[in-house]
Structure 1
Amino acid sequence: MKRAFSLLALALVAVVATGAWYLHGKQPRRDGELPLAGLQGPVSVRYDARGVPHLDAGSEADLYRALGYVHAQDRLFQMEILRRLARGELAEVLGPALVDTDRLFRSLRLGEHADAYVGRTPHEGPAWAALEAYLDGVNQYQASRPAPLEFDLLGIPKRPFRAEDTFSVVGYTAYSFAAAFRTEPVLTYVRDRLGADYLAIFDLAWQPAGALAPSLADGDWRMLGALADLSGRAVADQGLPQFEGSNAWVIAGRRTASGKPLLAGDPHIRFSVPATWYEAHLRAPGFELYGHYQALNPFASLGFNRSFGWSLTMFQNDDIDLIAERVNPDNPEQVRYHGQWVDLERHETLIAVKGAPAVPLTLRRSPHGPLVNDALGATGDQRPIALWWTFLESPNPLLEAFYRLGRADTLDKARDAARLIHAPGLNVVWANAAGDIGWWAAARLPRRPAGVDPTFILDGDSPAADKDGFQPFEANPQEENPARGYIVSANAQPAGPQPIPGYYNLPDRGRRLAERLADPALKGDLDASRTLQLDSGSAYGPRLLAPLLQDLRAATADRPDEAALVQRLAAWDGDYRVDDPVPTLFTQFLYQLADGALRDELGDAFFDALLATRALDAALPRLAADPDSPWWDDRRSPARETRRDIVRGAWQASLAHLRATGGDDPASWTWGRAHTLTHGHPLGRQAPLDRLLNVGPFAMPGTHETPNNQSSPLGPAPWAVSYGPSTRRLIDFADPAHSLGINPVGQSGAPFDAHYADQAADYAAGRYRPQLLDEAEIAAEAPRQLRLVPAP
């Protein structure tokens, strides 16, 4: 028996040792010396306490080749999964459940567009040379080192990364900004099926000239509901980043404590493991940049050095039109365009599926663009819906734009770089140590016919679907060195003589930031900006509640305990603190109010789609303020309900749900218990990988449209935070070498690595860490270094 136990112990030790050896081989190398073909000289890579690499090279070519190598060793699986998502190749490694997602991205033609773009782009110039060097570094890492753990779990074969993959992922990034797939079908349904009175809460005109002729049939509406659902699930279900909003501001030196401009930024993106951004500090003769990089992109989307820096927010201009084509009744392969029947282009392809036969897919294109309802498979008698998208219709030299922006130390250079951003639309918020501040709404804005509102699905047999080119960049909203001494960008409709169509956020968040920045008592320093970034309050809740309090008091007049809860709502300041139960009560009531008022008219599919749009944020305060809105009547009952009836029902449903999920004592309904963040890995949706790969949960303050924009879909409690600040950055140009930042999870995407989740607790607690520039401080914090040397 002793011998048996000894053998068992030895076997267990062997298993543990083998597992440790296996996992050790998957970890990034952060010291020692490694050969890298193509280098002209050695490259020093020092990793600081956060795992951020600081690269020092003798040339830009060496710098970008080394960046590709170190980026890949931390994020190779992220690169792989994103290129597969963008090119519609996920089912090949994840199986039949991903066929619908692949159909969607094939129908968007991102891979085809990337292939064509690379084919017609001159393969010359410093930006292209940098991209090729970077991809060579990625591929050398992949060829020489063990595959990531996820490759082994899924059986992913190694294959080289190409420029076409980079541009496909750029296309995915542009798509992730688009709200049209969720918003336009819902609002068109309201207009065409419910009528003008129902559009009032969305602040939209009836616009009969834009109405579809003939109107969509029941099958078309079901198809559009399914398309809206798929467009949301295709990204959310994969645990991958999706761009949702952002804050950025810059304060001129005359209003800061240091006398130099101060830049703050926190782009709002869906949380994931690994996080969206990969931080790296690059140095070569004549060039230095501390940047935040996206997978397969060698040029920083966010960056700064001692002379200048920038942040980004979503412009949220509407650069997508959904267009309903009219089919020739005598030939289903033709649609009407400019008074003529024209043939649809057809392309047959196959979706490879792991463990199952390949799925055939027919992709079609009209003169307006690809038919996106091909993503749903067989369409039968459904009306074809074409996609017109600026991203597919403009040159869009996006990588060139960010290559130049990383070298733009003057306003003129920054403006010229922003001019090259066509789609997605981005607000570039910029500052330099010389004292300049600026903002450019960077996008190619299409010229649509007068009176056409692209919020609705357009009629392909009408001039409403035509475009007359694009507005010049000079006509875009922008500011440089404004007299007020600060600039705020927070996704709201930009001011200007003509409204720009878009899916903008409410002004509450930007207004709250602007009010604080305008305060002459504000001390413009890093501490004040940190307080602003972590602000968890909003005027939205109290504003929405104000017209409903009388109805709530009437609903609770004979129940003192409930009346006390209403009084707490009435006194609430709109701050979503983790220890306060009032935000939980309000958010549950908000959902029940929306459900009671809107679901019966919209049906489940369109109601669920509306919950995921910004249109709902604007609609609910208008609905609450209008006691005569037709939405209050419940079509499912013979009686005619009033606002008071729906408010009473929403209140009772809210209390019943919170008691069932949080207990009978309202003191236990705290926001931190109901509102939590778990960073999800793409493979962490099933046990036991969820425990191994996901990070969290963390109790989170804030909510949708607070400056600390920790957002979750509106629904019943509890709420899982889905997106929020993807990084927080604070740079004072009096001392840029001691700027502050934080990653929501960690630098590394390698499971079990020391930097896989080492910043997650700090992020949740609102703490920051230094972003280092000084060589002596970097060396002191990172005594070990990795040396990449020319291969013999």
Structure 2
Amino acid sequence: MRRLTFALIFHCTFFLILPSKAQPQKVRAASPVEIIKDRWGVNHIYAQNEHDLFYAQGYCAAQDRLFQLELWRRQATGTVAELLGSQELKRDQGARLFRFRAANRAALDAELNHYHPHGAAIIRAFVEGINAYITEIKKTPEKLPFEFKTLNTEPGLWTPEIVISRHQGLLSNVRDELNFGRLVYLIGADRLRALQWFHPRSDASGKDPITEPDLILRVPGEQLMQPILEIYDAFRLPLKFTSPPSPLSFVRRGGVLPVDLLSGIADYTEDRMSLSSPPLLRKERGPGGEVEDWFDTEKTMVGSNNWVVDGRHSVSGYPMLANDPHRAQSAPSLRYWVHLHAPNWNVVGAGEPTLPGVSVGHNEHGAWGLTIFETDNEDLYVYETNPKNRNQYKYGSRWETMRVVKETIPVRGAEPITVELKYTRHGPVTFEDTKNNRAYAVRAGWLERGCSPYLASLRMNQARSWAEFRQACSFSRIPGENMIWAGRPLPDKKGNIGWQAVGISPIRKGWTGLVPVPGDGRFEWGGYLPIDKLPHKVNPPEGYVVTANNNLTPTDFPNRNAIGWVWAGPSRAHRIEEVLTNGQRKTLSDFARLQADHLAIPARTLVPLLNPLVAEDLEAEQAASLLRKWNFELNPESVAATIYVAWETQLRQALYGAMVPEPARPYLRSLPTKRVLDWLTSPVILVPTGSTQSARIMDRDSLLLTCLTRAVADIKKRLGDNPDEWQYGQRANKHITLTHPLSALVSEEQRKRINLGPIPRGGYAETVNNTGNSLNQEHGASFRILVDTEDWDRTLGINSPGQSGNPDSPHYSDLFELWGRNGYFPVYFSKEKVKAVAESTMMLQPK
């Protein structure tokens, strides 16, 4: 029965396919390496030593994701303008300004060995493998993926410095701090607290502590309105490829298409962009000069769910784990499955194709997963500069001289440009205000040693116990994460489950880091909080751990100023916990249904507000009637789901317009869900303070019905007059279409081959299956994993749209429809099972 259920739920169809044998490749491996590619495109690499294992991983990653690797290389090295022209100069300047720079070979080795005791050897072997494939394919350039031909370029060789690049800048918060400073200046700290939801906690009444956080502005507010972070933002923006009349002039003509193949943007907080921003705010640049809209949308693109249960909650009696990281949806996917097997290594899972090892997965001893944990690892410092020497700034009672680095940036179609990169004792200088004798620099914890995102997962890949896993976590500095563990039980010991928050967390004594501060020495970091001092637990009495980017920090946590103040709302976490505690032991099938869950927790609060009301508009009353009978699930076939999402959107926009002063709108682009729900359920500030409670409720009720009428009108414009055709999941409503980054550069016929979809979708940003707030799903879980530690061969996974980034590969999009049905494929661990589903076998032979 279990196998029948598996086949029905996970849509896994099996065929008798005889694996093909590829010609052996002559490479710089020490011993033969066997690579079995299964029918889902996952490479299972069997090597006889560590060097060859990671050499082969690099080789396979380049083979499957060559153009994605090339974009990573160019962004890491600040050479995008060499490919796309002068429009990318600021990106390259920002990438070089925030580059991690090892002083010498010994310093570089120390950096590489932070991630694993053999880190330098592992990373160099991985790079050798990438370069081996690049060298090989450049001998037959006609076989290069079409992107290289379209852009008239070739892939460049890699170095270890590219692997450890910080250019993707995960988990930025300095932009928020600049905007908080601007908001304090424009509307005052009290008003900002009323609009934003600052943590760490609420008191018994549900109100935020009035004494926290510290939002005292100690620098001139009017000077913060300048483009202070423009160069910082530039290297974090998605690449733009311009539609050309000919392949060689694409940098000068036509429209643009943004792409974020690497998803290297950060601040996630789904709660801060829960639904569409008001249309009046959709613009490219804010008054401060920085690109505003992209970053506020991107805050929804990094999140995740994970949970782990002990044997008391599973049918098997063994610990089980689930994880679905949320990032930008793209073709190809950010994630890349691989199975690594060699002496002392046996791990399967997924990570970014540009990194060795896996960041989420399991070995023979346990499984692990991650979600984002908010750490505040950036601050913006403001300096007084010397009017007689612009390269000097005041620190204490003396002038200090900035370090100046000159670099030359190659530019396609133009002469190279030489730029000056400046640094204070705190970090890179992003803006100089010569009129007011001010300079601004970002101190970023992620520029310290050992802060390449996810790379410390190499240590986790070999963990054999909770203790070893937690020790490995102590090296994981970027991004801040909730790491969970499910240990396989031993004959004489139960399997442990646990949670460890990780991340580099500066200690601030007496100040919060929420707004820009003077760089004169009064606001220094007091080192970094040891990772083992961050929140954690093992074998909790309730028998489970759930994290979904919500705030799990204990109320008595002593180092409040070392972690973040703005977190995702609790909706997804509450729903997961609700299902896990319903009294039924769980199977992987149950976990799969939970990962695809579409129940909208906010709807449970908002829809009952309609119960006593009657709309004067007949169509609005019919819509209200459908909502009253609805089960709160945003399923693709649901008409009520369409009505609810449109209604909630209208409510948010109306409240935004009423509550956010106009001068503040460029810097506060949306409202937290908590604020929206609080105001609507306890409408104490929807009308002037002097009004009676009954007047406030009447005002609230009028708002509810007015927004419902507007929602129906909006739906009719998009979907027509017939409510029977208002299903939520459809091309004109909630769906996903993946557009290849070079779609604007190719013919219509080619677009049909490289663009994917549409596929109907359900859910939104507040559901466990987080599909975001746009009608076309732009982010969410392209990768998922489910593990029952009783049997590693029962692991399930998915990766959309496929393992390969090459449209000519059968694995470019073969998983897209399966993913769209919330399906999975089996991720086999034993070689016997792997061989049974082999599609091809390749041997890497020593030269």
Normalising to structure 2: TM-score of the pair? 0.79
- Deviation sequence 1:441-467 (CA, Å, 0-9, x none): 0123211122x233333343473x321
Provide the residue aligned with 2:582 in structure 1. 519
CA 1:476–1:50 in 2, change beyond 3 Å: closer, same or farther? same
Q: Which moved more, 1:600-609 or 1:578-587?
A: 600-609
What is the rounded CA distance, in whole Å, between the counterparts of 1:699 and 1:591 in structure 2?
20
Matches within 5 A, 1:725-740: 725-740=781-796
| C-alpha distance after superposition, 1:306-353 (max 9, x if no partner) | 321211111122222233334456654443333544333333334333
Number of positions where the alignment pairs a residue of Structure 1 with one of Structure 2? 735
Shift in Å, 1:286: 3.6
Trace 1:595-634 onto structure 2 (pairs within 5 A): 595-598=653-656, 607=665, 610-611=668-669, 616-625=672-681, 627-629=683-685
Task: Tell me the SS of whatever aligns to 2:409.
Answer: strand
Contact kept? 2:186, 2:664, Cα under 8 Å: no
- Tell me the distance in 1 between the aligned counterparts of 2:232 and 2:643: 29
- CA distance in 2 between counterparts of 1:630 and 1:276 reads 43
Instruction: Show structure 2 runs of 5+ residues with no match.
Output: 1-18, 199-209, 241-257, 264-300, 490-494, 690-695
Any residues of structure 2 matched to 1:310-709 within 5 Å, and which?
Answer: 310-328=368-386, 332-373=390-431, 384-396=439-451, 401-434=456-489, 435-450=495-510, 452-461=511-520, 463=522, 465-496=523-554, 497-498=556-557, 499=560, 500-520=563-583, 522-544=584-606, 553=613, 557-598=615-656, 607=665, 610-611=668-669, 616-625=672-681, 627-629=683-685, 650-651=707-708, 653-673=710-730, 674-685=733-744, 688=747, 690-709=751-770
1:608-656 deviation digits (Å, cap 9, x = unpaired): 6644x7x6344433443464548999xxxxxx99767766765554444
**Does structure 2 conserve the Cα–Cα contact (< 8 Å) formed by 1:599 and 1:607?**
no
Q: 1:220 to 1:736 in 2, by over 3 A?
A: same
Tell me if the contact between 2:92 and 2:235 (Cα under 8 Å) persists in the aligned partners.
no
Contact map agreement 1:198 1:629 (CA 8 A) in 2: no
* Amino acid of the structure 2 residue aligned with 1:665: N
Query: Which of 57, 60, 63 is the aligned partner of 1:67?
Result: 57
CA displacement, residues 77-108 of structure 1 (integer Å, 9 cap, x when unaligned): 11110122233322221233433433443343
Alpha-carbon shift at residue 354 of structure 1 (Å): 2.1
Instruction: Answer yes or no: is 1:133 the counterpart of 2:102.
Output: no
Amino acid at match of 1:77: F
Give the number of the structure whose residues are more often helix, by fraction. 1
How far 1:206 sits from its partner (Å)? 7.8
State the AA in 2 paired with 1:191: V
Cα separation, 2, equivalents of 1:676 and 1:774 = 37
Question: Once the 2 structures are TM-superposed, how far is the Cα of residue 388 of structure 1 from its aligned partner?
Answer: 1.6
Between 739-748 and 388-397, the greater mean CA deviation after superposition: 388-397
Kept in 1: contact 2:91–2:236 (CA 8 A)? no
Query: Deviations for 1:729-787, whole angstroms, at most 9, x for unmatched residues?
Result: 11111111121111111011111210000000000101111001222222222264111
Question: Which secondary structure state, in structure 2, belongs to the residue aligned with residue 80 of structure 1?
Answer: helix
Whole-Å separation in 1 of the counterparts to 2:793 and 2:596: 22
1:276 partnered with 2:276: no
The code of the aligned residue for 1:530 comes to A
Q: 1:474 to 1:706 in 2, by over 3 A?
A: same
Distance 1:185 1:548 in 2: 40
C-alpha RMSD over aligned residues:
3.4
Give the equivalent residue in structure 2 for 1:186: 179
1:440 deviation in Å?
0.7
Name the CA shift for 1:648/1:484 in 2 (closer, same or farther; >3 Å). Answer: closer
Name which of structure 1's ranges 398-407 and 505-514 shifts more when overlaid on structure 2.
398-407
Q: 1:40 & 1:225 partners in 2: Cα distance?
A: 48
> Contact conserved, 1:601 with 1:631, CA < 8 A, in 2?
no
- 160, 182, 185: which one pairs with 1:163? 160
Q: 1:260 aligns with which of 298, 318, 340?
A: 318
1:729 aligned counterpart, secondary structure:
strand
Q: Deviations over 1:196-222 (max 9, x none)?
A: 2343131445879643334222x6425
Distance change >3 Å, CA 249–CA 523, structure 1 → 2: same
Q: Which amino acid in 1 is paired with 2:805?
A: G
Equivalent residue, structure 1, for 2:818: 762
Deviation at 1:471, TM superposition (A): 1.7
Instruction: Summarize the Cα distance change of 1:47–1:437 in structure 2 as closer, same or farther, 3 Å threshold.
Output: same
Cα pair 1:109 1:370 within 8 Å, conserved? no
Structure 1 residues 382, 567: closer, same or farther in 2, change over 3 A?
farther
- Code of the aligned partner of 1:404: R
Q: Is the 8 A contact 1:428 1:440 kept in 2?
A: yes
Question: Which structure 2 residues correspond to residues 110-121 of structure 1 after superposition, within 5 A?
Answer: 110=100, 118=108, 121=111
Aligned 8 A contact 1:223 1:382 in 2: no
Say whether the 8 Å CA contact 1:63–1:283 is kept in structure 2. yes
CA contact (8 A) 1:738 1:771 kept: yes
Query: Which 10-residue stretch deviates more, 52-61 or 121-130?
Result: 121-130
- Find the residue that maps to 2:714 and give its secondary structure: helix
Aligned partner of 2:70 in structure 1 is: 80
Looking at structure 2, the residues matched to 444 and 724 of structure 1 have their Cα atoms a distance apart, in angstroms, of: 25
Distance 1:700 1:114 in 2: 51
1:50 counterpart SS class: coil
Mapped to 2, the partners of 1:190 and 1:599 lie a distance apart of: 16
Kept in 1: contact 2:93–2:231 (CA 8 A): no
Cα separation, partners in 2 of 1:536 and 1:776, compared to 1, 3 Å = same
Distance 1:467 1:363, change over 3 A: same
- In 2, the alpha carbon distance for the partners of 1:35 and 1:454 equals 54
Give yes or no for contact 2:597–2:768 (8 Å, CA) kept in 1: yes
Equivalent residue, structure 1, for 2:253: none
Give the deviation of 1:37 after TM superposition.
2.9
What does residue 105 of structure 1 align with? 95
Pick the aligned partner of 2:778 from 710, 719, 722.
722
Q: Distance in 1 between the 2:391 and 2:699 partners?
A: 49
Deviation (angstroms), 1:134:
1.6
Measure the CA separation in 2 of the matches of 1:322 and 1:681: 36
Task: Rate the CA distance shift 1:590–1:241 in 2: closer, same or farther, 3 A.
Answer: farther
Secondary structure, in 3 states, of the residue corresponding to 1:776?
helix
The share of aligned pairs that are identical, in percent, is: 27
1:202: which partner in 2? 196
Q: How far has the Cα of 1:702 moved from its partner?
A: 1.2
What CA deviation, in whole Å up to 9, does each residue of 1:266-301 have, x standing for no partner? 111111111111111122234211121312211111
Q: Which residue of 1 aligns with 2:278?
A: none
1:125 to 1:189, Cα distance in 2 relative to 1, 3 A: closer
- Does the 8 Å contact 2:173/2:377 carry over to 1? no
1:46-61 mapped onto 2 (5 Å cutoff): 46-61=36-51
- Normalising by structure 1, we get a TM-score of 0.85
Alpha-carbon shift at residue 513 of structure 1 (Å): 0.8
Q: Which moved more, 1:640-649 or 1:504-513?
A: 640-649
Question: Residue deviations 1:629-685, cap 9 Å, x none?
Answer: 48999xxxxxx9976776676555444433322223344333212111122332235
Contact 1:201 1:623 in 2 (8 A): no
